[in-house]
Amino acid sequence: MLEKWFRLTERGTTVPTELIAGVTTFFTMVYIVIVNPGILGEAGMDFHGVFVATVLASIVGTLIMGLASNYPIVIAPGMGLNAYFAFTVVGGEGIDWQTALGAVFVAGALFVLLSLTSFRYMLLDAIPASLKHAITAGIGLFITFIGLQNSKLIVDSPATLLTLGKLTEPMTLLTIIGLIISLVLMSYRVKGYLFIGMIVTAIIAYSMGLLELPSQIVALPSGLSETALQMDIGGVFENGLYAVIFTFLLITLFDTTGTMLGVAEQAGMMKDGKFPRSRCALLADAVGTTSGAMLGTSPTSAYIESSAGVAVGGRTGLTAVTVSLLLALTLFFSPIVSVLASIPAITAPSLIIVGFLMISVVQKIEWQDFEVVFPAFLIIVLMPLTYSIATGIGVGFIVYPILMAIRGKWRDVHPIFYLFAVLFFIQLAFLSH
């Protein structure tokens, strides 16, 4: 049955290989079930509810990916999108988390519609590749900045706004130790280095008296009622969160597409430069995002960590199904996950390292084209400095067509991009941001 459904022989793989690939991918991405509830908890959401929502949304998206698309790709709440949700939309805009979930739901519903039409290609083609890479890099800097702040490696300063924190503070010192541990594991290419780094750091935290073990390690899943079906869709339109919806949709769309193409190419599943069954693959993420909003979590995205499973032979959706089953088991370990997420030094190294991995795409930016590279520069710089992913994107999207027009290249700008620029100008100039 497995052979027929997943076409194992055709893909040149076996059941044991797929299971090993699934386990490998799971350990490289399971850190998200610890980090995501911690980040969204900053928005006032119930930790246990977000934890269960994170796991369930990941299972839904990943199962669709595995069973319908037959790809070894994992879907889970995206890093960067969760930070945007908690620190920009809720923290910066002053919007309650229920309304923010409403924006995620609307973006997810639009993503579902786009996944069923060819309009998704027009939306992707309208944005120059360099600007796409700049958005990824800017989000990476933003995530790293949050990790440095949470661990107090960077603190507020009346004179300079920001400055280096006291490295002798126990939590800050533990963060440095945890970061070094993760970097050593990373340098030796240890699978699941982020998750293993968290566990080792937790052990050190316990020995330093910074962590108390929970009264129980295993418990039945609980708390979902605190976040499920709490989204306020009406509040989205009352507050005019159109730029927020667009930001969620835009980042999810091209981040997921880029990741899927990269993993598919690594696995040798691209045919004549095209991505077979792309509609089902994108739909998996779209449904994951929509169901995630209903359950109580930020938008999902395809995980580049899926490449770890592909590297050890994963070639079919059986790898994704294996990850889904392992994620289901984590539902019963919420007590220990809650303790781990409550210690900034345990989660901050992951934020810093993921940010580093994301900013590496700057090498793909076409630095010789001034009219493209300067807007890209603004996107990268303004995201962390304004503490807003949407503001960074907005300024870059406004400046790009202006520079292109000045250079006499206005015809090279996709017509829909001018619409983006006008909408962002209205949002930044006249609406709250």
Q: What share of the chain is helix, strand, coil (3-state, %, to 5)?
A: 70, 5, 25
Answer yes or no: is 53 within a domain. yes
Answer yes or no: is 388 within a domain. no
Alpha-carbon distance of 137 to 3, in angstroms, equals 40
Answer yes or no: is 381 within a domain. no
The tens place of each residue's pLDDT in the chain, 433 residues long, gives 777 778 888 888 889 889 999 998 998 889 999 999 999 999 999 999 999 999 999 999 999 999 998 999 999 998 888 999 999 899 887 899 999 999 999 999 999 998 888 777 777 678 888 888 898 888 889 889 988 998 899 998 888 888 998 998 999 999 999 999 999 999 998 878 888 998 999 999 999 988 888 888 888 889 999 999 999 999 999 998 888 898 898 888 877 887 887 787 777 776 765 667 778 888 999 999 999 999 999 999 988 888 888 888 888 999 999 999 999 999 999 898 888 888 889 989 988 988 888 888 888 888 888 999 999 999 999 989 988 887 888 899 999 999 999 988 888 998 888 988 888 888 788 765 4
pLDDT of residue 433: 45
3-class SS at 77?
A: strand
Answer yes or no: is 321 within a domain. yes
Answer yes or no: is 343 within a domain. yes
Beta bridge partners of 164: 154
pLDDT of residue 270: 67
Alpha-carbon distance of 299 to 302, in angstroms, equals 10
237 token code pair: 């339109």
pLDDT of residue 291: 96
Range of the domain at 161: 2-360
Q: E-strand spans in 230-357?
A: 300-302
pLDDT of residue 273: 59
pLDDT of residue 288: 94
Torsion of CA 197, 198, 204, 208, to 10 degrees: 150
Phi-psi label, residue 148: left if phi above 0, alpha if psi -120 to 50, beta otherwise = alpha
**Which phi and psi (to 5°) does residue 311 adopt?**
-65, -25
Answer yes or no: is 68 within a domain. yes
Alpha-carbon distance of 263 to 287, in angstroms, equals 20
pLDDT of residue 399: 95
Q: Say which amino acid occupies 158.
A: P
* CB 288 within 8 Å of CB 255: no
Alpha-carbon distance of 182 to 179, in angstroms, equals 5
Q: CA-CA distances (angstroms) from residue 312 to 4, 43, 322, 357?
A: 22, 38, 14, 21
pLDDT of residue 175: 95
Answer yes or no: is 173 within a domain. yes
Contacts (Cβ under 8 Å, ≥6 apart) of 303: 25, 29, 32, 73, 74, 75, 76, 259
Phi-psi label, residue 46: left if phi above 0, alpha if psi -120 to 50, beta otherwise = beta
Answer yes or no: is 339 within a domain. yes
Q: How many domains does the chain have?
A: 1
Please, where are the H alpha helices in 65-154? 81-83, 97-115, 119-125, 129-150
